[in-house]
Chains A and B, each alone.
Chain A
Amino acid sequence: MTEDNAVAIRNARPEDIDTVIRLDELGTGLAKPDYWHDIFAGYVRQPGAGRFFLIAEAAGAVVGFIVGETRIWEFGSPSCGWVFAVNVSPERREGGIGSHLLEAICERFRRSGVDTVRTMISRRDPLNLAFFRSQGLTAGPYIELERRLD
């Protein structure tokens, strides 16, 4: 466990699930309990290699989380670390907790042997775009494409 300014970063535990569901709902406006139960099964209860679910804790309370994993040859990409969820309690934002979480998961990615971290964010989500930009992430070599299946 690492500590900085009374915030500790640790691996998620099964009992964190309700708080994670609540924090995610606060951040996104959507409750996704089934999704988070699946994620906890694969990243917390029986985490596969290269999978990380980290919690930021202050004064015994969960104040943020980050989830990611290393993937290899997906979309033709050499091994890299993907961050697919990050969240900080609204009342604790702008205190560096998101930065600590990202740095902590990047350190785990490095130890897993990867040298790049990647994420995907809606271009209509300025809050998270600005966060990752502030952490030095820039446009990568891939373009996400999609089509409606009408």
Chain B
Amino acid sequence: MRLQKSTLFALYAVLELARENDRQMSTGDIAERYDISPHHLSKVMRQLVRSGLIQSVRGAGGGYRFSGNAKRVTLLDIIDLFEPSNPAVEGDEEDPAGATSVARALDSVRGEIDELTRATLQSITLRSLLKYAPAEVGEEAVAG
């Protein structure tokens, strides 16, 4: 599955923040850890704040904090904030081949794959993913 950069950055950020209760990290901390653009990540963080998944913390030592439920929020919840709703059939309305039996059969196959992908992403909560992603050496250095 190909994800847009923004989606991947959002997953990194939310998973980092959800790793521990009340963990606070700045955009710079997260960008440095994943070697990604802080400018691009800032836009992603603003969208995550609007969604209610994270909240900004003001003042010295501020940054962002996860404000969802890691046992409930799934990878799909985050991906759906940044990806088109159904890329497998995007643009089909203008495709004249869409009326043919071959095109319909291909649509059916793409639908199978899409449904399986969504079911998989919906089944993995942040807590489940983090359970199998142990903290790396030195990680405590930027933990809030």
Contact = CB atoms under 8 A, between A and B. Distances in A.
Contacts of B128: 130, 133-134
B125 A129 contact: no
Interface of B: 71, 74, 115-116, 119-120, 122-125, 127-128, 131-132
Interface in A110-150: 123-124, 126, 129-130, 132-134, 136, 139
* Category for how many chain A residues contact B: 10 to 19
Contacts of A133: 123-125, 128
> At the interface, is chain A mostly helix, strand, loop or mixed?
helix
Contact of A123 (B74, B119, B125): B119
4 tightest CB-CB pairs across the interface, nearest first?
A123-B119, A129-B123, A134-B128, A133-B123
A60 B132 CA distance: 35
A45 B74 CA distance: 41
A129 B74 CA distance: 12
Interface of A: 94, 123-124, 126, 129-130, 132-134, 136, 139
A134 B122 CA distance: 12
B114 to A, nearest CB: 11
A139 B132 contact: no
Contacts of B132: 136
A139 B115 CA distance: 14
A126 B123 contact: yes
Given A130-B128, A134-B127, A139 B120 contact: yes
Contact of B122 (A94, A129, A136): A129
A129 B124 CA distance: 8
8 contacts: A123-B115, A123-B119, A124-B119, A126-B123, A129-B119, A134-B131, A136-B132, A139-B120
